[in-house]
């Protein structure tokens, strides 16, 4: 019995390995076609060391990615790039893109001399996800961006009544390349109208010091020919004259001095559409405290 179980288990592992190899090979062939088309149009080429396509999900990951220009000069590299959930012919419940360990090449660093040295040498991680629940018409957008050992920023947005926008966006992406300007314009207008009807529920945003944010701030000041005293004085003057709630001014000043953490959150009245929010911004003009209360703005800095 034990030997039979081991035989079955071994056969299962072999079949899984074969199936995984076939999936990887198919994904690699499809990817090569797309990368070849990109290179023919732009001259930019993308290479990678290995590819892994999940057998049970639609996630594809590339390791050791390098991007070069038309003169074969490397632009950027990445430890890993992955895409999950994207489906060309239907609205996906989850689409996620991750870029891990992105690093600018030495040649292209010279093209951006004003970029602080700390950012030039840092490896950057980026991720974006969009989830959609058709039964409730709710969506969540999450974005994270971080420079390793320097700083990290995160954004989370919750939305409702998103079905019209998701479907309009899908029709726009599926539009044939030979569509007439009138057809394209009609689809774009449809997507914009759906965006106006989408309802913004909550927004959360944060910035965190991951070790060297103060050093980055110092490098930015050196590039602007300002010292800390001049910067703080300029910031205080600008905030004093700005039309924003006192809680916002206080938090921004605290963050500028401490450079440790900034947290922002807001929650709109239920059912507030994007179009209505735009009108509310205008109606509350000159009343920053009332508008901050209206959107339940919470903000702290340190």
Distance of CA 5 to the CA centre of its chain: 46
Contact 88, 174 (CB under 8 A): yes
CA distance 247 to 262: 12
CB proximity list for 195: less than 8 A, separation 6 or greater: 165, 274
CA distance 296 to 201: 11
pLDDT of residue 110: 86
- Nearest residue to 118 (alpha-carbon basis) of 215, 4, 44, 191: 215
- Looking up tokens 């401490």 gives 258
Could you tell me how many residues make up the chain? 302
C-alpha distances in angstroms, 133 versus 140, 190, 191? 9, 21, 19
pLDDT of residue 20: 35
CA distance 149 to 187: 44
3-state secondary structure of 196: helix
* Beta-bridge partner residues of 235: none
First to last CA, the chain: 65
Q: In the chain, which residue ranges form alpha helices assigned H by DSSP?
A: 2-42, 106-109, 117-121, 163-173, 181-197, 213-224, 228-241, 246-258, 274-283, 288-294
Neighbours of 204 (CB within 10 A): 16
Question: How many degrees, rounded to 5, is the angle at CA 133 between CA 160 and CA 99?
Answer: 95
CA distance 265 to 215: 27
pLDDT in single tens digits along all 302 residues of the chain? 444 333 333 333 333 333 333 344 444 556 666 666 666 677 788 888 988 876 555 788 899 999 998 888 898 999 999 988 877 677 888 889 999 999 999 888 888 888 888 988 899 999 999 999 999 999 999 999 999 999 999 999 999 999 999 998 888 888 887 788 888 888 889 989 999 999 999 999 999 999 999 999 998 888 777 788 888 999 999 999 999 999 999 999 999 999 999 999 999 999 999 999 999 999 999 999 999 999 999 999 99
pLDDT of residue 271: 93
pLDDT of residue 46: 87
Q: What is the number of alpha carbons within 13 Å of residue 224 lying toward its C-beta? A: 12
The tokens describing 211, both together, are: 């070790």
């Amino acid at each position: 019995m034990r030997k039979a179980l081991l035989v079955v288990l071994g056969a299962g592992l072999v079949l899984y390995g074969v199936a995984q190899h076939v999936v990887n090979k198919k994904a690699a062939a499809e990817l090569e076609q797309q990368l070849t088309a990109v290179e023919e149009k732009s001259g930019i080429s993308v290479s990678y060391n290995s590819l892994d396509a999940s057998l049970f999900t639609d996630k594809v990951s590339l390791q050791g990615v390098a991007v070069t220009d038309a003169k074969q000069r490397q632009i950027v590299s990445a430890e890993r790039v992955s895409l999950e959930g994207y489906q060309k012919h239907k609205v996906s419940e989850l689409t996620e893109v991750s870029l891990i360990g992105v690093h600018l090449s030495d040649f292209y660093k010279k093209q951006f001399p004003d970029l602080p040295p700390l950012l030039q040498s840092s490896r950057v991680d980026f991720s974006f996800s969009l989830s959609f629940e058709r039964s409730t018409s709710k969506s969540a957008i999450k974005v994270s961006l971080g420079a390793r050992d320097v700083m990290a920023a995160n954004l989370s947005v919750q939305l409702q009544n998103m079905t019209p926008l998701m479907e309009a966006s899908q029709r726009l992406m599926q539009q044939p390349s030979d569509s007439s300007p009138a057809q394209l314009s009609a689809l774009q207008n449809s997507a914009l109208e759906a965006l106006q009807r989408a309802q913004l529920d909550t927004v959360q945003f944060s910035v965190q010091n991951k070790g060297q944010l103060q050093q980055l701030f110092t490098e930015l000041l050196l590039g602007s020919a300002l010292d800390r005293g001049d910067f703080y004085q300029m910031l205080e003057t600008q905030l004093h004259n700005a039309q924003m709630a006192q809680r916002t001014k206080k938090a921004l000043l605290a963050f500028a001095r401490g450079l440790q953490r900034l947290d922002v959150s807001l929650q709109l009245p239920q059912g507030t559409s994007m179009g209505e929010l735009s009108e509310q911004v205008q109606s509350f003009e000159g009343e920053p405290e009332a508008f901050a209360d209206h959107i339940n703005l919470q903000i702290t800095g340190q």
